[in-house]
Amino acid sequence: MPELRHDPIQRRWVIIATERGRRPSDFTKLEPDPHGGFCPFCVGNEDKTPPEIIAIRDPGTKPNTVGWQARVVANKFPALRIEGEADRAAEGIYDKMNGIGAHEVIIESPEHELHLADQPLDHFKKIMKLYQMRLEDLKNDLRFRYVLIFKNQGVTAGASLSHPHTQIIATPVTPHTVSMELESARRHYEVKERCLFCDIITQEVQNETRVISEIDGMVSLAPFASRFPFEVMVAPQEHSHDFTELDDDGLMAIAKCLKDILQRLRSALNNPPYNFVLHTSPNTHSKTRRGNYWQTLEADYHWHFEIIPRLVRTAGFEWGTGFYINPTPPEDAAHYLREIEVSLE
Amino acid sequence: MPELRHDPIQRRWVIIATERGRRPSDFTKLEPDPHGGFCPFCVGNEDKTPPEIIAIRDPGTKPNTVGWQARVVANKFPALRIEGEADRAAEGIYDKMNGIGAHEVIIESPEHELHLADQPLDHFKKIMKLYQMRLEDLKNDLRFRYVLIFKNQGVTAGASLSHPHTQIIATPVTPHTVSMELESARRHYEVKERCLFCDIITQEVQNETRVISEIDGMVSLAPFASRFPFEVMVAPQEHSHDFTELDDDGLMAIAKCLKDILQRLRSALNNPPYNFVLHTSPNTHSKTRRGNYWQTLEADYHWHFEIIPRLVRTAGFEWGTGFYINPTPPEDAAHYLREIEVSLE
């Protein structure tokens, strides 16, 4: 069982793999293709993944066979284990718990080479719907405080398989960055009775210089204090704390806006490796012995995607301090990205 | 003038280069060796760097000529500018200030290929003394809140020149991670009237499983909640908030302990790229309109080095959440590193 450990100095949780720890020699061998060219996510290899949790399938086809358009399966090498209880405990001055959680993979398409930016719009919308369905389902497990949805595209961005896929990790703690954002938004709301994110989006849309696209109520922009060149935030202009609140039109709108920005980034930056992460409300169902872990968060949070093209190497400075040097002003990044032509079909 | 911008959501400052922003095409060209094999830090090229701020020199040699053992010069391409005032200002909901600060380079040795782990101990101690001297000098500039000392070793770790060097950046803000650590230590002290770091070090030394070396009052250990495989913390066992407090024996002790751990990491991990960062007390001289920016920090902080070998790629998960997956338990890392033979001369 992996372990979750809390750093009392930086106040963050870390997942420590305890079962088969990587030894020094594991880091010095180069493993360019751990699967030797074989892709377990390709059509015909359905038996090489754990069984389907859910899938979008052609009518009349059976689970774990061909005929799918997108599949959700458990990760074969999960960072966290689904069985058991957190069993929170102290170890002297430290805090730890069992590494329980869910770790799933959304295989976005049967096509091995299809970039998410090239997904037909109606299929892109179905992937967004799968995000929602997994969020809803995993939030019913009251052991989990947060459900993370993220995508690593390209080896430099941490992808170990090139077949298009998104990852989902449900955790018994709320990640540090999300807690921090929640706290900032809550403080802002307490003073102003307005959402911090809504205020930012309103100012950006009025100001225009950092806005990249506005599509059907969704906006993509280069954040004022972007840590990385060409960093992008995508968010709904109307207040909404939880991605699962999106209705059918909303799903189409976010599909359009994401497809739009992914095309722009790809064209402007020569198909860069990138990561995106969905930041959405923590699991409001989750309970502690004291009652609800989170009171209602409807006023306090505003879901959004963070997209980070991996263009620069991060140095000791950034890791050791949380302080970033960004060589491209976000106004310039937005300007370059606005100029790109896109095709939303 | 670069700009410092504050992210109101994640509450961190970012340095935004505004003068010559990097364009999309700058990221798609590969620049394996921007200096074309020429090293501005090598002996004989003293006129290719800005003038010496301070140097360790053979008797009778003149500044900015040959005959040096280590030199400190301004960075030719500084991230922050030394002239001017912070001029803190709002921009709607945002906060910003001028990117004032110092950016210096310590050229550690005339020898282009000499790994810091191979520096003779007496020279290693002199480098530590230079760290102290620059900290002391830069803290006299009351515009600066923090002085960062860090080293990037290897291209993957962000080094753009391979000649052995350390960087120094003085900033008009305290970096996010250091503020966070200070806050944790302060909270701990308020309740217990003990230093958080002292408590951690005491427990680690008693427990032994994560300790790598204990040398003349300095200890190196694998932190309980290490974010990265083979991450190491080096700290004094006796309480001290400020690296500049080290006396002559202390400088020799930290030189020994760092040389020891750098040799261990190099042997165990096949000469990995790495970063280290010195975390020390912010500038207590620095003042705001309200008075001292920091009250005395003597009880609240405990200086230490963080060393991070760059063995794994970070994915979207880590950047987007501040939540890390570490594939090597720190107990195992400490075990492997303890077994390595070192030569401290």
This complex has an ipTM of: 0.91
pLDDT tens, residue by residue, B262-317: 999 999 999 999 999 999 998 877 766 666 666 667 778 999 999 999 888 776 66
Residue B130, pLDDT > 70, answer yes
B80 and B103 in contact (C-beta within 8 Å)?
Answer: yes
pLDDT score, position A158: 78
Look at residue A315 and tell me if it is in a domain.
yes
Question: In this complex, which of B12, B196, B321 lies closest to A8 when CB atoms are compared?
Answer: B196
pLDDT confidence tier of residue B160, bands split at 50, 70 and 90: confident
pLDDT score, position A202: 97
Average pLDDT of adjacent 10-residue blocks, chain A of 345 residues: 93 84 71 70 96 96 96 93 94 95 96 94 97 96 92 83 94 89 92 95 97 98 96 97 96 98 96 94 75 69 94 73 89 96 90
Specify the DSSP element, H or E, that contains B279: strand B274-279
Backbone phi and psi for residue A45, each to the nearest 5 degrees, phi listed first: -105, 25
> Could you tell me the pTM of the whole model?
0.93
Residue A315 forms contact with B (CB below 8 Å): yes
Q: Measure the CA–CA gap between A142 and A286, rounded to whole angstroms.
A: 5
Q: Tell which phi-psi region holds residue B60, choosing left (phi > 0), alpha (psi between -120 and 50) or beta.
A: left
pLDDT score, position A319: 72
Residue B97 forms contact with A (CB below 8 Å): no
pLDDT score, position B289: 66
Look at residue A344 and tell me if it is in a domain.
no
One-letter amino acid for residue B82 of the chain: I
For chain B, give the percent of residues with pLDDT over 70: 92
Dihedral (C-alpha) B309, B310, B314, B319: value to the nearest 10 degrees? 60
pLDDT score, position A26: 79
Q: With beta carbons under 8 A apart, name residues in chain A contacting B305.
A: none
Residue A339 forms contact with B (CB below 8 Å): no
Average pLDDT, chain B: 91
B22 and A327 in contact (C-beta within 8 Å)?
Answer: yes
Question: In this complex, which of A27, A224, A316 lies closest to B276 when CB atoms are compared?
Answer: A316
**Joined tokens for residue A281:** 């409300």
pLDDT score, position A273: 92
B54 and A295 in contact (C-beta within 8 Å)?
Answer: no
pLDDT score, position A322: 81
Residue B33, pLDDT > 60, answer no
Look at residue A281 and tell me if it is in a domain.
yes
Q: What is the DSSP string of B79-148?
A: SSBSSS----EEETTEEEEE-B-EEEEEE--S-TT--GGGS-HHHHHHHHHHHHHHHHHHHTSTT-SEEE
Look at residue A316 and tell me if it is in a domain.
yes
Please give the C-alpha separations between residue A11 and each of A169, A319, B332, in angstroms, as whole numbers: 20, 15, 23
* B165 in active site: yes
Q: With beta carbons under 8 A apart, name residues in chain A contacting B268.
A: 24
CB contact under 8 A, B317 and A150: yes
Residue A30 forms contact with B (CB below 8 Å): no
pLDDT score, position A320: 72
Taking residues B62-84, report their average pLDDT.
94
Q: What is the CATH number of the domain that holds A331?
A: 3.30.428.10
pLDDT score, position A31: 53
Work out how many domains chain B is built from and give that number: 1
Q: Which has the closest alpha carbon to B159: A57, A314, A77?
A: A314
CB contact under 8 A, A323 and B171: yes
Residue B42, pLDDT > 90, answer yes
Dihedral (C-alpha) A196, A198, A204, A205: value to the nearest 10 degrees? -170
- Residue B337 in 3-state DSSP? helix
**Joined tokens for residue A272:** 């860069």
- Residue B232 in 3-state DSSP? strand
Taking residues B320-339, report their average pLDDT.
91
pLDDT score, position B25: 80
**Joined tokens for residue B274:** 């790495």
pLDDT score, position B313: 75
Q: Measure the CA–CA gap between B333 and A69, rounded to whole angstroms.
A: 43
Look at residue A108 and tell me if it is in a domain.
yes
Look at residue B27 and tell me if it is in a domain.
no
CA atoms within 13 A on the CB side of B101: 25
Look at residue A102 and tell me if it is in a domain.
yes
Residue ranges making up the domain that contains B288: 3-21+33-338
**Joined tokens for residue A342:** 């896109």
Look at residue A343 and tell me if it is in a domain.
no
